[in-house]
Amino acid sequence: MAQHDIKDIVIVGGGTAGWLTANIIAARFCPEKGRGLQVTLVESPNVPTVGVGEGTWPSMRTTLKDIGIAEADFIRSCDASLKQGTWFKDWITTGDTPYYHPFSLPEGFDTVNLAEHWLAGAAGNVPFAEAVTPQYAVCELGRAPKQIGIPNYAYTVNYGYHLDAGKFAALLTKNATEKLGVKHLHADVVSVNTDENGYITGVVTEQAGEICGDLFIDCSGFQSLLLGQHYGTEQVSVESILFNNAAVAVQVPYPDETTPIATTTHSTAQKNGWVWDIGLQHRRGVGHVFSKDFQSHEETLQVLDQYLKDTGRSKGLEDLNPRLLSFDPGYREKFWVKNCLGIGLSAGFIEPLEASALVLVELSAAALANQMPRDRSDMTVIADRFNREFEGRWSQIIDFLKLHYVLSKRDDSAYWTRNRAPASIPDTLQENLIVWANRAPWYHDDLRRDEMFPAASYQYVLYGMGFESRLTFDALRSSEDKRSMAKQLFAETQKKAQKYGQFLPPTRFLMNQIREQDFARI
């Protein structure tokens, strides 16, 4: 059997998914480093990118560092700000007290399960996140997660980013082509050539002829030119679990350049969906996610207009050119078929709650880089492993997002009551809710080191939304040493909160420092 060595990788589609994938692969295998793989990205000059993925997880810091982009350059080029988690409002009931899902783990997370001691009342009558992490206070005060003197990608409290997706794609393009040897072709794919075994040998383009390769990565967005259209890979719909299938998005200018920048994504529940609100340096990105089965486009515009007025923009939607985005929530039944791998929207999309889209691109590209096949002899095995791994990741995303809806007590619309209907709740989530009712989740529940949503994330949402867990026998019999350690950690959290509130700068202040001064370290 011919070996078909992997030498040329062709990525079909640009945007954030395509260019982030190109950077991750090329940084590991670019010819300049003598590793023998050529990456070519074919980008249509006629297809606009979706361009609304503006929130990242903390993992993006490592990704940017690995592909050779300095943090100050990234922040300046992409009008980025520092995101410390998500702030939730009206998810429990209308007019509720907001809660946080911060990026920092609870203090002493691998030593003591503070959730059990918080449930027992050891921290007093304070919100869970406030009791277990100083990041709560940092966010409440609008402080940045670091100071100007802290090195690239290091931090005082954990953070990801808010960014301008179009500018991020441009920065990634420049880095990949100028530093990592990625070939960039502007061309429209019109057909696909395959061999007798169904493996893709090349994509035929209108402007550049046939582009040949050994491994093809489909980053063509919702079109899914290779994985969906060519191979006919079916999509697994999750619309019976997560109902949202559309969003209206707008870009909202600040009143002036001194307006504070929100240090978290704001997620505010509405009658038939929710509104995201993220703060960049130069504007807010705001959008209403909803289900067309429960609310019309026109009604959504009215809700979004009122939200903008309620949050300080007197003109509401006037002059903002809202964009309607429709999607079928779900993912491909396989992500890797033959020598074709789908990454980004071509592999699937579920509503943007908890911002999982970009981290899936990071994880997919990193998984490919870590398991890069040498030739077709091991590609089938690697593809099967990849498919199993990412089917599990998508299932976990679905469970975690659904948890937010299941815990809600809202009853002001059929949207919310049906979201709690047992038939709409995955069996795996129902099983976990039974377990969590009898004990608080902890780090030993995580099945893998790089869980998308570790036990701490479940704790923040469960107890932020008022879920009650009984204390386990072990917790009831907890030794005095453990109780003393927990009380010490609660006290230490409050000390750090006070300290950080004093020396961490406002987010806007730090962003201005980075933009205006040439710091080698930030």
Nearest to 68 by CA among 160, 197, 163, 181: 181
CA-CA distance, 16 to 441, in Å (whole number)? 34
H-assigned helices in 407-454:
414-419, 427-436
User: Which residues share a beta bridge with 247?
Assistant: 289, 325
Q: Is residue 83 among the annotated active site residues?
A: yes
Q: Are 55 and 359 contacting, i.e. CB atoms less than 8 angstroms apart?
A: no
Nearest to 459 by CA among 127, 179, 36: 127
CA-CA distance, 368 to 344, in Å (whole number)? 13
The kind and range of the H/E element at 324 are strand 323-326
CA-CA distance, 294 to 416, in Å (whole number)? 10
Which bin fits 384, alpha (ψ -120 to 50), beta or left (φ > 0)? alpha
CA-CA distance, 13 to 18, in Å (whole number)? 6
H-assigned helices in 219-296:
none
Catalytic residue among 7, 83, 174, 292: 83
CA-CA distance, 454 to 16, in Å (whole number)? 25
Nearest to 348 by CA among 323, 366, 330, 368: 330
Cα dist from 196 to 9, 113, 193, 199, 201, whole Å: 20, 57, 10, 8, 10
Q: Are 153 and 60 contacting, i.e. CB atoms less than 8 angstroms apart?
A: no
One-letter identity of residue 196: E
CA-CA distance, 319 to 6, in Å (whole number)? 51
189 SS3 class: strand
Catalytic residues: 83
